[in-house]
Amino acid sequence: KPSEIIKKLQSKGISSAEIAKRAGCSVFYVNKIASGERENPSYQIVDRLRALYAEKAPEEVRPFPNTRGLDGG
């Protein structure tokens, strides 16, 4: 879930402002996602959050399921 990704990034000491900058959205939007008020952000935002998480917490990264059905299966 995007909210879990944000919470894990924040637990690593990454600020909402840095997350927002890297995800290409506002701090307000990041906080809405983190609180669960915005449950389905665009796939572009989710992809950027995943990339940031993979960069900042590589030891915890495991493959995310393909939620867009692009794997042909």
48 and 24 in contact (C-beta within 8 Å)?
yes
* Terminal CA-CA length for the chain: 21
Residues contacting 29, CB < 8 A, separation 6+: 20, 38, 41, 45
* pTM for the whole structure: 0.75
Averages of pLDDT over runs of 10 residues in the chain (73 residues) are: 92 93 95 92 94 82 54 46
Phi and psi for 49 in degrees, rounded to 5?
Answer: -65, -45
What pLDDT score was predicted for residue 32? 96
